Structure 1
Amino acid sequence: MSYVKASGWDSARVERVCAALAAERSDSELTFERLAEWHRIAMGAGEIERFRVLPAFAKGGRERYGVDATTAGEFANCLREGAEPGMAPAARAARVYLDVCFFHPFSDGNGRAAMLAFDHVLGRAGVVLDQAGPVFAVSRRADDPEGARELVRLVDILIAATESRAR
């Protein structure tokens, strides 16, 4: 479970995220409904959270994520596009990760939801990273296309390193 190994989380949070990873890895498709269920497990919530209806804030209020009548539908389309096999797995995983981060669909736990979506896309491509911490260690900005390209390069490096260590 390289996603939670060095996170510094308490044992209850680690157990919830591991349970969410197990649920995510047994699902065949990435939809908002599936993501919301994985998120519910990771957060230890009783009910599945719907897509937010109010603006969201992150990083101590420094970032604002707007919302309007089209936001949830646009996000669902992004998840669908990110699951299509037309792009390389690293690009699809990075895109889905960033989409979850920047659409900010939930009131809390969006980083965990992004991690689960990232793992799902790679898993469907037959890739399970043995080390993923570097992906989640750096905060990403929505207005940084070079940063997005660098994330794809990082994921490619992690995939190659995992494959190399498996030989």
Structure 2
Amino acid sequence: MDGFSNWCVAGERSTDSARADRLLAALAQARADASRRRPLTLQLLTGWQQLVLGLPEVSFRQGDAFAKGGRERYALTPRTRRDFERCLRDSADQRVPLPSRAARAYLDVAFFHPFADGNARLAMLTLAYVLELEGVRLDEVGPLQVTRYADDAAGAADLAVLISALIRSTHGRTAGARPEGAGSRPTAADGAHTAHRVLPGCSTWHPPGPSKWPTAGTGSALHRG
């Protein structure tokens, strides 16, 4: 079972089949980019977002962004784009556990809000890409689809723990379905259970908060309505 492909279809197909097809195409492109080990950059995300939105061109936002019915505003500052690009590079830091890197990348896209539309979808694609780079493909992503807030430090840490649990569950179901005696190729999933232990002390990962998380403090100031 392919959790991300199911996510592309489940919420879209019944109401907008073209939108679902675009999302599937973007997921396929993200996975192809992962197979080529292409680094996570704004240019890479821009290509996915063109597929998501079905537009020939998309660009980094030119003003403040709003979410949650206008209750959250992400201010555009001179540092927003630069900070976002730096955070994307951080997703490749192998000193940080995979679940933490995937959670960080997801939240960075969600709260830097780089494009005018489709950022929630792009955040999920980014999470899928970070996992795909390490040979991990979740069979269930439904629990990831909850409302998150830029200044919720505990929620950010919980997301990393949730991703770790989903990796373990996927790995366990895959191992259970394998014929008895068949070998398995080690993947990042084998060590993912450590994420909840090392996350709080990781010097390169900070829970999102007004003073620590770039999306809510330095590059893109958060204002809660």
Q: TM-score normalized by structure 2? A: 0.71
State the aligned residue count: 165
Residues 82-93 of structure 1 correspond to what in structure 2 (within 5 A)? Answer: 82-93=91-102
Distance in 1, Cα, partners of 2:161 & 2:31: 24
- Is the CA contact (8 Å cut-off) linking 1:122 and 1:128 kept in structure 2? yes
Give the aligned residue type for 2:31: R
Alignment of 1:29-44 (within 5 A): 29-44=39-54
Q: Does 1:61 align with 2:61?
A: no
**Superimposed CA distance per residue, residues 127-154 of structure 1 (whole angstroms, 9 cap, x where no aligned partner):** 000111211x211111111000110111
The correspondence for 1:147, drawn from 148, 152, 155, is 155
Q: 2:129 aligns with which of 120, 125, 134?
A: 120
The amino acid across from 2:63 in the alignment is L
Please tell me whether residue 45 in structure 1 is matched to residue 51 in structure 2.
no
Determine if contact 2:12/2:19 at 8 Å carries over to the other structure: no
Deviates more, 1:4-13 or 1:89-98: 4-13
Is 1:158 the counterpart of 2:162? The answer is no
Match of 2:7 among 3, 12, 18: 3
SS in 2 for 1:64: strand
Structure 1 portions without partners, runs of 5+? none
Partner of 2:20: 14
CA contact (8 A) 1:6 1:133 kept: no
User: Using the alignment, how far apart are the partners of 1:125 and 1:89 within structure 2?
Assistant: 8
Q: Secondary structure at the match of 2:66?
A: strand
Task: Give the aligned CA root-mean-square deviation in angstroms.
Answer: 1.1
Match of 2:112 among 100, 103, 118: 103
Name the SS for the 2:20 alignment partner.
helix
The runs of at least 4 consecutive aligned structure 1 residues that moved more than 4 Å come to: none
CA deviation map 1:85-115 (0-9, x unaligned): 2211111000000000110000000001111
Which ranges of structure 2 fall in alignment gaps of 5 or more residues? 176-225
By relative contact order (CA 8 Å, sep 6+), the higher-ranking structure is 2
Residues of 2 paired with 1:151 and 1:2: CA distance? 20
Quote how far apart the aligned CAs of 1:8 are: 4.1
Aligned-residue offset at 1:6:
2.7
